[in-house]
Structure 1
């Protein structure tokens, strides 16, 4: 794991484990596609499981409707409860809760921030609350059966959230809203925040009502990425004593040459951008009507150069792309 990601991992885990175990919460890890969200969370969830917590995964790209969402999630939860010796058959808290929750989902008026109990008569409301309390007790028993020290947590990881259709994202948020209200549960979204809020139905204010804390992953410099993969390659060759010196020398040369080439490319793009910026400034100062076309052209060239440089930098900071280069 990159040094930057290790520091972020510790910060995120520290926040998660510092929450009161009974209080539910939801947080988001935010970064563009390919910048290491899933890799970081893979290490994080491994550590959480080692600490005797339970982890469930949701992929909105797969569970792309309400029925699939309910079946997939509660199917995973049933497996965890059974592993802890908790009854999940007919009449169990889990079965009754899924049945009652399904009635809410089936109601056409079901929407975000709606009082979920508003559809039930008074007696049914009490029954729903009691069923939910019983399921919370089962979850508590599951989380305390693995350790005598203290009660752990059930973490729900929602991966590739931003890659789903907007209606699927919305349904997932509504579903998660109810889960976040469960004691002992924590929800972790993996997303590109800016992509999620570009649609018509999910605004920044809307999304922030679901997410209590957001961690924005830093962009990793390409020198750090190269160093990491070079070291990994050298470690892989340690068992081959005959060629280890040759391999290390070649890998070091590769790093030097690749970084030098990329530095030159970035410098060339930056220099071109600066020249176009100066040219556009000169054209802007000339108020002659004949200069209108030149001004439009210089502006277009400037915008293209700015876009090219930004795309180049974005690709340099993408570990997956640089790994392919190496």
Structure 2
């Protein structure tokens, strides 16, 4: 039994073998762009948390390598233990540069010079020259404290000498990389550098990495592709420069081209999760019971409707699926699962907890959760023929239905009024008629919904901790 979905494996020889989201056309287009674009350049792949940026970058990286391009991939988050991003950068590209220099003695010397210059920069830090000389990027007031104190004491001979050495080190660093990438009068060798998880780094590291790219690595031949949640990264900027700082505008100064990752095809992703969680096998064992023969499709259709209506991220969908998985795996083969109700209650527990808790634990009537459903699902989807929302509402009412209707509040009366109103639309009256029929079929006797049983399986989730793989 699978308790979680596994990270998408991007195979180097066939990057799209496990493509869950039909990303290949987008990767192909992006590849063509990178192959024809001039350098130096910094591109960002922007998308909110959990939308599959990592998988997209890994596919793009593999595709470029398969097309005989020089490409390096590393996770900024996994390297933010380094005291300076430049150290991590030099460490990550070292092996690739060695392959590029090969037996070329001049290029090997240039790379050794670059590393020595980089070591000097790392020892001393970027001097005031860069901090002040980029006033459009960083305010002079942000100069680090030790340099400020030196300035206050006056520009001594030692300070000016150190300034000159740092300036020379930066020039040697940039010249060395340029020489490594040079091609005897032809276009320099192109090196694509993918940096993932920038928005997960500690704020100082993320900002310093952007500054290093902008000031030290703006070199012909280098193309940076950064994966980021721009909104989240802007919070890191504000953590450094203050809550009133114009963070989004600041980030734009580091990035030449922004690419927004297309919205994920949630339906295809959910279909894939059914496979990876072995849901098909689970439901196959229940088909022998006539009452359960449509459970597999009903659960999937309901979850697709709600996930799309709430615009859930891939990671949110995966986490919710892990919870549904525990519930269904704890359900006996011959026990009712109530798929529409299960899918809705799992989501309601996550995003509408108060109304969920009042309904399932405090004996509340269904109206509040029904209102949440209506706010979640557009009316056009709600009234569609065979809409899963109709089953969700019917089950919410039916689970509270008894012969006296004490626990359903006005939820049934509302639909009875619509049915009797000849001025209403045909679609609305049909919807209401079906809700009343299905709700009343749970008559409180042999055909009742065992809400307590479902509740106990859902509440069992509180004892588990959930995490998700990268998407």
Task: Say whether 1:94 aligns with 2:114.
Answer: yes
Larger Rg: 2
TM-score (norm 2): 0.46
2: CA distance between counterparts of 1:65 and 1:316?
Answer: 25
Task: Say whether 1:160 aligns with 2:197.
Answer: yes
Question: Which of 75, 82, 87 does residue 71 from structure 1 map onto?
Answer: 87
Task: Call closer, same or farther: CA 1:41–1:124 in 2, change over 3 Å.
Answer: closer
Paired position in structure 1 for 2:229 = 192
Task: Call closer, same or farther: CA 1:201–1:35 in 2, change over 3 Å.
Answer: same
Mind listing any 5+ residue stretches in structure 1 that lack a counterpart? 145-149, 238-242, 247-251, 267-308
Question: Which of 3, 11, 16 does residue 34 from structure 2 map onto?
Answer: 16
Paired position in structure 1 for 2:264 = 220
Paired position in structure 2 for 1:31 = 47
Task: Call closer, same or farther: CA 1:224–1:164 in 2, change over 3 Å.
Answer: same
TM-score (norm 1): 0.63
Question: Which of 298, 301, 325 does residue 257 from structure 1 map onto?
Answer: 298
> Structure 2 matches for 1:200-211, cutoff 5 A?
203-211=247-255
2: CA distance between counterparts of 1:113 and 1:310?
Answer: 49
By how many angstroms is 1:108 displaced?
6.6
> Structure 2 matches for 1:127-166, cutoff 5 A?
128-129=170-171, 132-140=174-182, 152-166=189-203
Query: 1:54, 1:155 within 8 Å by CA — same for their partners in 2?
Result: yes
Equivalent pairs, count: 260
Query: 2:74, 2:195 within 8 Å by CA — same for their partners in 1?
Result: yes
By how many angstroms is 1:151 displaced?
5.7
By how many angstroms is 1:156 displaced?
1.6
Answer with 11-20 or 125-134: which moved more: 125-134
By how many angstroms is 1:45 displaced?
0.5
By how many angstroms is 1:85 displaced?
3.5
Query: 2:266, 2:314 within 8 Å by CA — same for their partners in 1?
Result: no
SS at match of 1:61: helix
1: CA distance between counterparts of 2:320 and 2:40?
Answer: 37
1:195-224 Cα shifts (integer Å, max 9, x gaps): 112366561111001111111122224322
Task: Call closer, same or farther: CA 1:317–1:17 in 2, change over 3 Å.
Answer: farther
1:223-246 Cα shifts (integer Å, max 9, x gaps): 221334557899xx9xxxxx9xx9
Task: Call closer, same or farther: CA 1:200–1:232 in 2, change over 3 Å.
Answer: same
1:36-89 Cα shifts (integer Å, max 9, x gaps): 111111111111112222233443334337744222211232222223345657
Query: Counting helix residues as a fraction of each chain, which structure ranks higher?
Result: 1
1: CA distance between counterparts of 2:111 and 2:313?
Answer: 54
Query: 1:226, 1:255 within 8 Å by CA — same for their partners in 2?
Result: no
2: CA distance between counterparts of 1:186 and 1:73?
Answer: 14
SS at match of 1:92: helix
> Structure 2 matches for 1:111-122, cutoff 5 A?
111=131, 114=134
Q: Runs (4+) of structure 1 moved beyond 6 Å?
A: 118-124, 231-234
By how many angstroms is 1:126 displaced?
6.4
Task: Call closer, same or farther: CA 1:55–1:74 in 2, change over 3 Å.
Answer: same
